[in-house]
Amino acid sequence: MADRKHLRVVKSGRSAIGRWQWSNPGVLLDLSGADLSGADLLWANLTGANLTEADLTGANLDGANLSGAYAGFTTFARCDLSEVKGLESVIHKGPSTIGVDTIILSQGKIPRTFLEGAGVPDTWIEYIPSLTVAPLDFYSAFLAHSHKDQEFAGKLYADLKRNGVRVWYFPADARGGRYLEEEIPHGIRLYDKVMVICSREALASAPVRDEIRWAVQKQLETPERWVLLPIAMDSVVYEEDSDTARRLRQHVIEDFRGWRQPKEYGKALERLLRDLSSREPPPAPSKG
């Protein structure tokens, strides 16, 4: 069981940890069984800390030092371990949980010795490179849409999968509040491209607008990459005078307004597949 004082110190951040360690030389942090999900452990010195049975889901571990720390039945889910120091010297008291999302966020940059100590089978470790690169032809994609557009979204999803695109989707306005607040930003972060199905219903949906906001934020954070692909089901995104529509019109819009006509849909799908394999957008945005 974690020492409550130690837990309070760690949750206060690296400065508090540093002050405590200076005042308590030689005393190691006992965080066994601690709930550290979502904790900001940026550059935290966790040298020799007891992390057995601790939950580090979603924790920010960039630059943290885990040299000589103890792990065992520890949960490393949805966190980036690529910048963590001392993983090679972590002492494993038992297997731990290493999430696939953690492997993806870390781009596979996790020491093999750490994975082996955590109980990850050798065959799985060999497979990790295939999890951390996009398919040869296409970037991975997150598909945001309203449940009212399920017919089109389901058709597009199936066709993208059939063509080899790694795509994830679920109607935004069919999810619970906690899922929206915590999971969707992480989902968007995991994928290379964010496609937003734009319709009258979608742009009127607060959850879809939230996804658009998160996607725009990802685009701003990665200006060197083309991230956001609005998909027009009708003319609303071209014509509506709203902040959301104006924001989307700043990006190249994939025109699927003729999606019910097989020939038009086929042409639009071909364009989308081409754009999903591109790092840079076409030279000029689509016009309504």
Instruction: List 98's β-bridge partners, or say none.
Output: 76
Judge contact between 27 and 49, C-beta under 8 A: no
What pLDDT was estimated at residue 132?
62
Residue type present at position 215: A
Q: Which fold has domain 141-276?
A: Rossmann fold (3.40.50)
Query: How confident is the model at residue 136, as a pLDDT?
Result: 40
Mean pLDDT of the chain: 84
Domain ranges of the chain: 4-131, 141-276
Nearest to 46, CA basis, from 110, 2, 97: 2
Cβ neighbourhood burial of 215 (10 Å; 0-12, 13-18, 19+): buried
Task: Tokens for 70, please give them.
Answer: 């103890």
Q: What DSSP string runs through 53-104? A: T-B-TT-B-TT-B-TT-EESS-EE-S---TT-B-GGGPEESS--EE-HHHHH
Topology of domain 4-131, CATH: Pectate Lyase C-like (2.160.20)
- Distances, alpha carbon 100 to alpha carbons 166, 217, 248, in Å: 15, 24, 31
Give percent of the chain above pLDDT 70.
85
Per-residue pLDDT reduced to its tens digit, 174-226: 444 444 444 455 455 567 788 899 999 888 888 888 888 887 777 787 777 77
Q: What average pLDDT does the segment 259-269 reach?
A: 91
What single letter denotes the amino acid at residue 144? Answer: A
- Euclidean distance between the first and the last CA atom of the chain, given in angstroms as a whole number: 61
Residue 84 confidence (pLDDT): 96
218-233: b or e for each residue (b if 16 or more CB lie within 10 Å)?
Answer: bbeeeeeebbbbbbbb
pLDDT of residue 156: 92
Would you give the DSSP letter of residue 149? G
53-109 per-position pLDDT tens digit: 999 998 999 999 999 999 999 999 989 999 999 999 999 999 999 998 898 888 889
Number of Cβ within a 10 Å radius of residue 175: 15
pLDDT in tens, 37-52: 989 899 999 999 999 9
Q: Which of left, alpha, beta for 26 (phi over 0: left; psi -120 to 50: alpha)?
A: left
Confidence check: pLDDT of 284 > 80 = no
Alpha helices in the chain (DSSP H): 4-11, 14-23, 100-105, 112-117, 122-131, 150-162, 177-190, 200-203, 206-221, 236-239, 243-248, 262-276
* Rounded Cα gap, residues 189 and 166, in angstroms: 14
